[in-house]
Each structure stands twice: as structure tokens, then as C-alpha cells.
Chains A and B, each alone.
Chain A
Amino acid sequence: MKLTDIDVAVIGSGPAGMAAAIRAKEEGAEQVLILERQEQLGGLLHQCVHNGFGLCYFKQDLTGPEYSHRFVEKINDLGIQVLLRTMVTHLSPDRQITAVNDREGILRFKPKSVVLAMGCRERSRGQLNVPGTRPAGIFTAGTAQRFVNVEGWIPGKKVVILGSGDIGMIMARRLTLEGAEVRAVVEILPYVGGLTRNEVQCLHDFHIPLLLEHTVTEIHGQERLEAVTLAKVDKDKTPIRGTQQRVECDTLLLSVGLIPENELSRMAGVRLDPLTGGPVVNQWRETNVPGIFAGGNVLHVHDMVDDVSWEAEIAGTSAARFTKKETMGKENIIVKGGRNIRYVVPQAITAQQDVTLYARVKEKEENVSLKVGSIFSKSLKVVKPGEMLKIDLTQNQLRQMVENALELSIEHIKRRQDG
């Protein structure tokens, strides 16, 4: 492999990296290289043995490994180069990549363009600052998922899950199927953090207790986890005195949020959006650093793998075009979040093309209207942080704009008064 001639280097081979690499190659980039730190392509897909992948992208209900396989086949067919067990340790602002593996040793090269597709990591106990002791038996849901689905080990038999993110709910079902007793899924908010579909299929269908507006206030046990104290919380998420209950358990899983993994982006001088935790990009998924693009969970955390792949394809296309010195266009409209909008991606767009905006709300609301400036509005029965909003805007709509800023907001629908 000649690393001196790489056109597009993709860092990470999860659903984002694979889709970006394939699209870059299809768009005419000759030498496309994927760098993956694990033993196989697919990122975390291979530990997601549950179904629900590809419903939109392939119109089929696939498992994680099945979804991954479709892309892996294409990568092989297209002759995309792959370096496995290879960790990228540095990325410089002029796109120089330093990586290490146990075959070639230290690798250093400068591709014509780079796609960041490192995905995200789980929030840990330290970041939650849960008080108490430090026994064994506390895992993030994703780590437990790897142990159960890849390594064949069940962490324990009495399980409490803190947080109701999708992986947590999926692990609640998985551990129940494995014969463990999931004593509670504990969520500090008045609604689940993940998809409604997972709430129904993973918790309700298996009669797993869901404690909303509750949290873990203390961890007990010196060597192995023995119990946790749960408490109900008030509107400010403060535990209410007198509501504490001790729940015996040997395992606590955390499913309390995902954080885009942007250490390499930082090294390269990529500007990050504090709201998403990912790079600030325009609609071509271009960062502020020329030739560095980003897509998938590294940019913002998605709910559905299908969206991850689609978004990364934009980054792959742009990366290929960059190598051919094609110009993308000029973004001239800043996109911002207004009332009850936590973030919007991309953060800047042009009126010259159709665009899809991804947004997330701050709080759950019912019977609202989603507004995009004065050019788009849509009534929605319910919006909640666990379900991403996707808004397709056409050139025609965008051309109606008079200002160069676009604000997304969630507004209450004004009811017509009687009489």
C-alpha cells in the first residue's frame, strides 16, 4: 500500500466511515483508505446483535452485523483500502495523519482529504459524579453490550440501569433474555432518553420497571456492587428527601448519554460546537479546516444508523470532490436554534441547493409547530430530545429568504378560541 497517494482517508469504519468511504470512491476518488482501530470493519455495529438497523436505508429490518456486512461487501468490491487494528494518534491542521499498528508500526502520511468518522463514546460514572463507593460491577451499557454479545460474559444477575438511552434499554432486554433480573431502568427525566420504539419493545414488552423522574443517589459495596439507593427527583432534578429506597443489585449499567469523540478534530484545529460536541460544519459537512470533513456521530449523536450513513455520504462526496479541486459552493446562511431547540446541524448552508437539517429539542412538548424562519412550518404531535428532527428544505423554499440567518424553533400551536 502506498500511503503517499491517498486521496481520501476515512478515520473510523462504523456506519459513518464505511458509508463515507464508499461514496468517496463512487464519486471518483481513486485511492480511498479506511483506518480502523478494531479487528474488523463496522465499528460498534458488530456488538449490536439486535434488529432495527436499515429500516429506512435498506427498507429491511437488519441486525447490526447484517447492516455492517452490506457495507463491508461494497468496500471489498470497490477496492477501498483498509488498515485494521490501526489507531490514528495524531491529525495535524495540514491533514497529516500519524497512526500506529502492530504490522507497519508508525505510519505517517498526508491524504488529499480526510473524513472524520470516529463516532462517539459513552458518558461515564465520573462525569455523572454519582456519589458512593467504587466497587466492581459498574459498566457503561455499551461496555456491557460488548461483554455479553461479543465476549460471551454476563456481568451479573441483578441489574439496575441508570439512564434510558437506547443502548441501556436494549441491554435491559438483552440481559432479561439472558436470565438476569433487570430490577429497574431509572431515568431522571419524565420521559425516556431513547426512542419510543425501544421503550415499548425493550422495556414494556418485557415488563421491566421504568422509574421516570428517579435517579441513583448512592452506590454501595466495597468489592462488588451490593446495592444502589434510588430517589425520586423534583422538577430541578434534585432528589426528594424521604423518597430514597435501597435496591439490592450486583450490576449497574449507565446509559446516560453519548459524547462525540473529537480528540483528533481538536488536534487538527477543527472548530467544535459546544451544543453538539462535534465540529461546526456547512451542508457539505466541511469543517473550518480545509480538506477535513465530518459525518455521523462524531458530528452529533444520531438515533438511527440510517441517518448516520446518509449524513456520512455527504461528507464522503465532499471529500472526493475536494481532491478533484471542485468547489462546493459558498455557505451564506447561518442556521441557529431558537425556542426549545438544542442544536441544528449543519450550522451553515447555502440557498443554492436542497438541504436536510437535523435538529434536537431541549424538552418534550406536545401539539407544537416546528418553524424554520418564515419559510417552513409543520405541526407535530410530540417532540422529545430522544427523537431527532429531520427537516428537508428545497432550494425554492430557501430562496424565499430575505435574511442570511435561519432560526429553527418549536412554537405552541395557538388554538382557535371558541365563540
Chain B
Amino acid sequence: MNQMETEVLIIGGGVLGAAVARELSRYRVDVLLVEKEADFGWGSTKTNMCIVCQGGDALEFRPEYHRSKLVWDSMPLMEPLCQELDVPFRKVGELALIRNNEELNKFQKLKSKAEKLGLKGHQFIDQDTLRQMEPNITRDAIGALHDPHIAIVDPVRLTIALIENAGQNGVNIMRETEVLNIFQKSNQFEVETNRGLMKCRFIVNAAGISVEKIARMVNSDDFVLYPIRGYVGILDKNLGDLIKHEIHMRPDAPGQMNILTPSVHGNLFFGTTMQPAKRGDCSTTEKIAEIGLKNVRKIIPDLSEREIIHSFAGFLMFRNWEVGWHECVVQASRRVPRFISICIGYPGVSAAPATAKEVVTLLRREGLRLEQNPAFNPIRKAPPAFTHLSEERQKELIAQDSRYGHVVCRCETVTEGEVIEAIRRGANTLDGIKFRTRAGMGRCQGGFCTPRVVNILARELGLSEKMITKKGRGSRLLLFQSKELLEGSI
């Protein structure tokens, strides 16, 4: 496998790359998607608040931005897409809290702006109604602007579903495949990877925070992005019923967001505290965590920090950060033909469906010939999630395969059968199992299930447990066998 040829090469298996792959699988065309990580959606897709928005908060309904259009065009596409792909999607609605007249004015303007754009359904809610809708939130709010369209998804599951469906429909997929260099030949690209050389005619650069790095490989650096690191905290599921809607509070500092939102799996997410940071440095800092907690306490005043089970940081990529929340990159290179770069930055998940369609249009414009794929099947079935099934279905499943009766993750009630199914579908790391099944995502954060999952991974992959990694490459979990460290000394 050291020389491959394809018509279209997609670089990056995040939600955007995956959406493009799936969109292209509607046509009869040779497509290869490469992802440098061990599984899909591990960049900005993973570090996400999981909200499908319509551009009201940070974008403030600015039609002058291309990004807004992509978000609005995606809105009607997202729910049917999630249905086709069997991915959890839930409309929760947003309550943007109003604490004073200044904020009221601001939201009145936003509301009329939205209406002018044809975005319907926004409604002002008075204090009493707000209390009924959300009895646990701050008493500082005198009302709220309700946006019924806001929904929540699981972006990593969506990405995996897109990849699986693209695969079903003929797209070739390679993981742990990193693009090292790109050479422009007369009518094709030669792409050097850690897995050998790949030839292609078209490139879709969806490399997330590496999007400029890839563009520079063909000297097509006609955009500059500013990486902003955002911090998100996750609360214990016990607090899952604290709020019903996504709660948005106008930030007290510019460039921040203050959101508390339900997630499809029951935990609440809060964030996003943002700060400029070195690209790719997803470390959390004490200060940013402190601000995050301070902010969420403006929404839930007496929230105990003990309820935070996990936190993470991720990147939002902005063009021209200094002048505000600006534009995204969805464009064919001006200098290099057949080379398309995409990076939404925020909100990437919400904009993915329309972005994928637009990339197809751009590819056509660049000369890609696309014929309908008559065999295209839009339906993908999710693997069973034991804990969410009806008891009847649970019984059936155990009868078919008794391993669905063996619970390996106590916090999230994940069974051995689910772990095995995830491995069958491509998971080969501890984090892969975590994002696909939720084993290790609960309040004990893998304390109980880690040895069990490592065990199953080793058995199913036919490897020694010593070779099992957290997230691929050099992230092995168990470095030595018993007594191995003593061998030299005896």
C-alpha cells in the first residue's frame, strides 16, 4: 500500500471532512478521506458544546457573513440528516437571559433582525414564565428571548455516522494517515503521507486547526486564521434535570460566551471561556477553569464545583479575530486549481450540512465531473445503546448475543456487546471506545471500566494489552509486564 490513486482526496475526518465525504458519496466518484488520528472527530469536533445553533448568539444574525448563510442553510438539513444517520438530535430551544434594559434593547434589535431575515419563532418570555420554564436558574434574569430552533447533537457520533455512511456508499477511508507534503504536478497532486504516496486530482482540505498548514504545502496561503482556545466543563448527570433549555447569558467580557446547555447524553455542558493560545495546545489552565466556573455560577448561583466531572479545551478558528467574530473559509484556492479549503471555526457542526453541499458545488466549478450514484443509500443504522433500549429490545439483544448482558461501564451502563460492536466498526483505542460507546465518560471517568475495556480491545484486536493505546501513536497505557522492570536487577 505505498501508492494510491483517487479522484478526490479529503484531508481531515472531522465533522466537515466527514460531511463532504458523505455528500460526495451521492455521486459516482473516487473519494479517499484521510484522518491523522486513530478515530474520527477528535479535533475541534470533539471539543464542542454540542449545540446546533442558528447564529443568533455570536454571529448576531449578520447576513454579510458567509458563515451565517451556511448556518441558516444547514438548519432545515440537520434534523433529517440525523434521522437518516440514526444520530441523537434533540430540539431544546434556547433561552437568552435578559437581566436589564440594556440587554432587553439588545435582544429586541436581534429579534427584529432575525425576523427581517425570515428566521421565525423568537419570543420574549416574562419573568414568571421563565421561572416556570427554568425554576433553577438565577433570579437575576427578568425575562428571556426564547429561540425554539436550537437543538443539541453529539458531534463525534454525527461524524462517525457520516463516515460510516460514506463508507457504505463507496468512499475509501484511512485513519492514522497524516499528510506530510503535497506536490503539485501538471494535472494532479502527489500527496506524501506516513502511509506512502497518494495521487489525486482534487483536494478538499478540511484539516481543522491544521488547515493553513496543509494550504501552505501548495503555497495557497490566501487566508490567516486565529486560533482561540475555548474551555468547557461537564457536569454530573445527576444535575441533568437542572435545566431544560440551552441557557445563554450575555457575557460580561467581550469575546466570551456564557452558555449552560443540556447534552443528548444527559450531562450539562458549560462554557465557553475563551483565550488566544498556541495552536493545538488543548491544555486547560487553572485560570480559565476558574473563569468558567465563575460564569456558570451567574446562571446557576450555588453550583458546587464538585459536580464538574470533566473539562476540556478546544479550538475555534477565526479570521481576523481582532475585529470581532468574523468569516469562515470555504473556498477554492485562488492560485492552485482543484484545491478547496474549508474551516468554519464556529459553529462548525451547525454549518456542516450546507458546507458539504457548497464544497460539491465548488468541486464542480473546479472541473470535477459528478454523476449521480444510483446505489446511494442515505440510511445508516447506529449500533445499539443498551441503556436506551426498551426492555423488550434489551431482552432480544441479550438473547442474540449474551455479551449485551454484561455491563462493563457502570456509570453509563455500557455493555461488553456495545464495546465489541464499536471495535467491529473501527474503534481501536480506549478513547475510541469512549466516544463511540460512552464507556469511561461517566462520573468515575474510566476508573472502573478502563481495565475491562483494555481487556476487550486486546482480545478483539488480537493484541497484547501492552499495545493498547489511549488515543493511538505513542499513547500506550501499560508500559511493562509484571517483573519486567526487575529483570535487569536480579
A interface list, Cβ under 8 A from B: 37, 85, 87, 89, 100-106, 121-122, 124-127, 129, 131-137, 139-140, 142-143, 146-148, 150-157, 178-180, 217-219, 223-224, 250-251, 263, 266
Contact = CB atoms under 8 A, between A and B. Distances in A.
Contact of A140 (B309, B416, B447): B447
15 contacts: A89-B387, A100-B394, A100-B398, A100-B405, A124-B446, A126-B309, A131-B284, A131-B285, A136-B469, A136-B471, A151-B465, A153-B481, A154-B480, A154-B481, A223-B471
Given A100-B398, A102-B404, A124-B447, 5 more contacts: A89-B407, A106-B405, A124-B446, A129-B286, A266-B238
A144 to B, nearest CB: 10
A106 B395 contact: yes
Nearest to B416: A102
B480 A87 contact: no
Given A126-B310, A153-B465, A133 B470 contact: no
B466 interface: yes
Contacts of A127: 306, 308-309, 445
A101 B444 contact: no
Interface string B447-482: 110110001000000000110011101111111111
A139 B450 contact: yes
A180 B488 CA distance: 12
Given A131-B286, A133-B283, A143-B450, A106 B484 contact: no
B476 A136 contact: yes
B399 interface: yes
B283 A132 contact: yes
A146 B476 contact: no
Nearest to A254: B447
A104 B398 CA distance: 9
Contacts of A157: 479-480, 485
B53 interface: no
A155 B477 contact: yes
B477 A178 contact: no
B452 to A, nearest CB: 9
B483 interface: yes
Contacts of A124: 309-310, 443-447
B406 interface: yes
B445 A125 contact: yes
B289 interface: yes
A154 B466 CA distance: 9
A102 B471 contact: no
B64 interface: no
Contacts of B481: 152-154
Contacts of B478: 147, 153-155
B234 interface: yes
Contacts of A217: 286
Given A102-B405, A126-B308, A129-B308, A136 B485 contact: no
A85 B398 CA distance: 14
Contacts of B398: 100, 102, 105-106
B402 interface: yes
B483 A121 contact: no
B391 interface: yes
B485 A224 contact: no
Interface in B249-280: none
Contacts of B489: 179
B371 interface: no
A140 to B, nearest CB: 5
B62 interface: no
B485 A87 contact: no
Contacts of A132: 283-284
A179 B477 contact: no
Interface string B284-322: 111001000000000000000110111110000000000
Contacts of B284: 129, 131-132
Given A100-B405, A102-B403, A157-B485, A122 B444 contact: yes
- Name the 9 nearest CB pairs between A and B, nearest first: A179-B485, A126-B310, A136-B470, A124-B445, A102-B405, A223-B474, A87-B407, A153-B478, A136-B475
Contacts of B484: 154, 179
B413 interface: yes
A129 B289 contact: yes
A307 B443 CA distance: 27
A251 B308 CA distance: 24
A152 B282 CA distance: 33
Nearest to B231: A131
B486 interface: yes
B90 interface: no
B395 A101 contact: no
A318 to B, nearest CB: 26
A179 B487 CA distance: 9
Contact of A151 (B285, B402, B411, B455): B455
Contacts of A125: 445
Contacts of B380: none
B483 A178 contact: yes
B312 A143 contact: no
Nearest to A85: B406
B410 interface: yes
Contacts of A263: 411
B387 to A, nearest CB: 8
